[in-house]
Amino acid sequence: MQGGETASGRGAAIWAGIRAAEAGRAVLWLPVALGAGIWLYLALPAEPGLHWALAPLVPLAPLLSGHARKGGAALLAALLLVFAAASGFSAALLHARAAAAPVLSGPLHETVDGRVRALSQSGSGAPRLLLDEVVVYGLEPSETPARLRISLIDAALAEAPRPGARVRLYARLFPPGGPVEPGVFDFRRQAWFAGIGGVGYTDAPVLRLPAGGTADRALLWLARLRAEIADGLRARLPGPEGAFAAAILVGDRAGIAETDAEALRAANLAHLLAISGLHMGILCGLVFAGIRLGAAAVPAVALNLSGKKLAAAGALLAGAAYLALSGATVPTQRAYAMAAVALVAVLLDRPALTLRALGLAAILVLLVRPVSLQDPGFQMSFAATAALVAAFERLRALPGRRAPGGLAARIGRRAAVYLGALLLTSIVAGLATAPFAAVHFNRLPVYGLPANLAAVPLMGLWIAPMAILSGLAAPFGLADAPVAAMGAGIGLVLEIAHGVAGWPGAVRLVPAAPEGALGLVALGGLWLVLWRSRLRLAGLGAVALGVALWADPPPRPAVLLAPGARLVGVMGPEGRAIDHPRAQSFAAETWLRRDGDAADQRTASARPGLTHGRGWARADLAEGWRLEVLHGRRPVRAELERLCRPGVLLVARHGPARLTGGCCYFGEARLAATGALAITPGPEGLSVVAAGGVRRPWAPETPAPLPAGCAAPRR
């Protein structure tokens, strides 16, 4: 009896210790619950009614009534989490409805007038215009998209119109494209939330029109200023250094050569190009330190004002200016939100770097733009920052003492602390972001740690200070020397990237992860980070389970069809064989990357396993199935009927709606409804997964039943 009482008392003491350690930590799960509600909205197969936006009122009623407090802390926490999840669902629903704008219903070849809102570069290197105030000849105003994105095929970047210019061009236009494989990036959704109702290209000259009056002159002035700064940097630093400088200072990545971009990706240094938490943190940190040192050097200021608060206010303004100058892209908004929360905490005499501050920044970003939840940048930046804050939180809790010593000893200790912090930061951030990089990009840079240890100090100690100095010196015409010094530092970073990328096995390709693996790893990581007691170690189980699923992924689909069957890929003996060496390059690149295949499209088009010619392709599949694809504009119905027999997967891009044979048939109408397809033969017939068929604002297809002939044929 005494032993039982002792064990019971020990258990109660352990539980009391856990409760004491975790006091106040449940609030850290509010942004997680908010994100779960957003994820639920985005994952629905059909659009919910607008009345679902009132969902937060359900848990809000007991929260406001006071009954929750009487029910205890557990009930209060549960209601708060439900309220956060319902708020995320409601915010995403309202944001999607507010983004509603006309979308092209089909291909169109027409004259377009518009104002250049932004200038970027396509994946092929062509200048790309984002137009607003659009007029499309032949379309009624009610049918005209609010924005169009058009690539200038035969134009050079230096010749492209700058933001604010009004242009007229004759372009081939299309509705935004859907996923190229079920379960992958959906450009239609991104375009919907960005107000882009059509994309296209032109190889004709662009006519400049007289500038008209506009209500948002400040935004255009900023856009033109960004373009002028980018052009000036590329002129002062010809070559890759100037393009890199324009990317990190004003967010203009148009001049980055693909070879440099690939080297940076292979060395895990691509984050240096995107204006994100690193750049915002370096800028705000340098401004904060400079103002605080300056305030301390002036006795009247040091004695009468708080140098720390002055520095925080100055850094806050500097960050806001950087946000505006960089174009206020979503990653930069996210980075500024995180920096602003930390700096406001300093102004309020609160700890700056805490998980609560990070959670508040996440809530702000998700409420302003809910769809950013599924952006790789959002996931990776918050995962890295949360892991770093938690790691340094643990370090601060360790006992320590100040060691005596002279100036040299103190300098040595500071250098050791800096190098140790850099090493720890690179390891922790690399581990936290690796699962997301593997899922979104299907690649893991093997030597990212040494590359970051060499390049990040260059960014913080050399490139960034010279960039700030060049900005301060530019109004006086004295920017040449700091710009040249910045270019030298950038050159070293590029040398590091190309050197590391050239090491054997620099990149490990990762096949597509099984469904749920990343969710388990992310949940386990959050459990480890957000709790403080031994309770957090349970997160290791979820991480281990996610990794175990990842280690044994399911086979990739035997057949992949791009939307409209404009490209076909069949898994053959040497990897996926593709039926065209150039067409639909984004789809081909995505398929091969998710296969964990390093081949390019041209190599894949020459592989065995898929025979193809002009307008046709065929392949023998498993379980006795045969694939027949016809691309012809007017397929002969008699030929289609001859091919349509049991055991045949027949795809006709422009074929009739129905055939009388017993094949598994996809004609033009059904392909339009299904979108991209992933098909695998099995003993029971063909397993068909469609990317389309959902009813969302950005994907208004009419669901179509699968063909009857996809069941296993009788032998």
My answer on whether 503 and 634 are in the same domain is: no
> In whole angstroms, how large is the CA radius of gyration of the chain?
28
* Positive/negative CA dihedral, 147, 152, 153, 156: negative
Which tokens sit at 351?
A: 């700890």
Q: What is the pLDDT of residue 14?
A: 63
**Residue at 589 is within a domain:** yes
The model's pTM: 0.87
Q: What is the pLDDT of residue 130?
A: 94
**Residue at 270 is within a domain:** yes
How many other CB atoms are there within 10 angstroms of residue 408's CB atom? 8
| Edge-to-edge strand ranges of the sheet holding 575-578 | 575-578, 568-572, 559-561, 677-682, 685-690
My answer on whether 423 and 531 are in the same domain is: no
My answer on whether 536 and 568 are in the same domain is: no
Q: What is the pLDDT of residue 652?
A: 93
Q: Average pLDDT for consecutive 10-residue bins of the chain (715 residues)?
A: 58 64 80 96 92 90 71 78 95 95 92 90 84 92 94 85 89 93 91 94 90 65 82 89 89 84 90 78 86 85 82 90 80 80 84 80 91 88 87 74 62 72 81 88 89 87 89 86 93 95 92 89 93 86 91 91 94 94 93 94 95 91 94 84 92 90 90 91 90 83 73 66
Q: What is the pLDDT of residue 405?
A: 60
- The set of residues, in sequence order, having a beta carbon less than 8 Å from that of 632 and lying 6+ positions away, is 615, 616, 652, 653, 654
**Residue at 347 is within a domain:** no
- The set of residues, in sequence order, having a beta carbon less than 8 Å from that of 128 and lying 6+ positions away, is 119, 120, 121, 122, 149, 150, 151, 152
**Residue at 93 is within a domain:** yes
My answer on whether 36 and 113 are in the same domain is: no
My answer on whether 198 and 57 are in the same domain is: no
Q: What is the pLDDT of residue 328?
A: 74
Q: What is the pLDDT of residue 271?
A: 83
SS3 at position 572: strand
My answer on whether 635 and 652 are in the same domain is: yes
My answer on whether 358 and 494 are in the same domain is: yes
How many other CB atoms are there within 10 angstroms of residue 9's CB atom? 10
Going from the C-alpha of 462 to that of each of 209, 294, 493, the distances in angstroms are 43, 20, 11
**Residue at 334 is within a domain:** no
Least Cα distance to 165 among 232, 119, 110, 111 occurs for 119
My answer on whether 376 and 249 are in the same domain is: yes
Which tokens sit at 333?
A: 């908004």
Task: Please tell me the total count of domains within the chain.
Answer: 5
CATH of the domain at 134: 2.40.50
**Residue at 9 is within a domain:** no
Rounded Cα gap, residues 72 and 84, in angstroms: 19
**Residue at 277 is within a domain:** yes
Q: What is the pLDDT of residue 6?
A: 66
Q: How many CA atoms lie within 13 A of 212 on its CB side?
A: 12
My answer on whether 289 and 388 are in the same domain is: yes
Q: What is the pLDDT of residue 1?
A: 47
Rounded Cα gap, residues 510 and 397, in angstroms: 37
**Residue at 657 is within a domain:** yes
Backbone angles phi, psi at 653, to 5 degrees: -55, -35
My answer on whether 89 and 150 are in the same domain is: no
DSSP state for residue 660 in the 8-state scheme: S
Domain span at residue 91? 24-98
My answer on whether 75 and 145 are in the same domain is: no
My answer on whether 656 and 527 are in the same domain is: no
Domain boundary among 49, 74, 98: 98
Query: Are the C-beta atoms of residues 288 and 318 closer than 8 Å to each other?
Result: no
Backbone angles phi, psi at 687, to 5 degrees: -90, 115
Least Cα distance to 171 among 206, 147, 140, 197 occurs for 206
